[in-house]
Structure 1
């Protein structure tokens, strides 16, 4: 099982940050809430701060745990843990993604999300 943290990052306008996985990556072409693999001894919140700085050059502040979704991509078991987070600073520079967008919660259903993320799309899109 691979433990992964995802951040539902909100800007001051109430929009959420989503990113599309680039070609050559698993789930290429699908949208996701940014994050990454949790390393040994690391909390989900620490992982998100580190990953968002490494992969997008931005500072965030995770503040509310949303839940977990266990998903299997064939033989690969992903445990996706999600947090709400606030965007703090930085200009987005993409590493593992080929596109990003700030979107309204009601727009989330217009994007083709990776299966593991869909439970969180439904969770925040319904609010």
Structure 2
């Protein structure tokens, strides 16, 4: 099982950061909550800080566990840990994504999310309805 982490970053307007996987990457074309693979020597929170700095040039503060979702992509099993996070600093520069957006929770269903992220999309929408 591969362990990965995703950041649910909310701005001061209550919008959530989502990003689309660029062509040539696993899950290309799907939207996701940004994050990445947890290395053996790090926590999910440490992973998110590292990944968001590497992949988007931003510093974040993961402050609260949001949920856990086990998902099967055929032969690949992942365990996705989601954390609420604050943007601390930086201007977004994309590396593994080709687009990003700040959207309200009720707009999330307008985007085609990676299957492992859908449980978190639904939970965010339920919280805001």
TM-score for both structures, normalised by structure 1: 0.98
Query: Is 1:125 aligned with 2:129?
Result: no
Counterpart residue number, 1:37: 37
Provide the rounded CA distance (Å) in 1 between the counterparts of 2:53 and 2:27.
21
| 1:87 positional shift | 1.1
Consecutive unaligned residues of structure 2, counting only runs of 5 or more, are: none
Consecutive unaligned residues of structure 1, counting only runs of 5 or more, are: none
Query: Is 1:24 aligned with 2:28?
Result: no
Provide the rounded CA distance (Å) in 2 between the counterparts of 1:12 and 1:53.
20
Q: Deviations over 1:89-118 (max 9, x none)?
A: 110000000000000111001100000000
Runs (4+) off by over 4 Å? none
TM-score for both structures, normalised by structure 2: 0.97
* Cα RMSD for the two superposed structures: 0.6
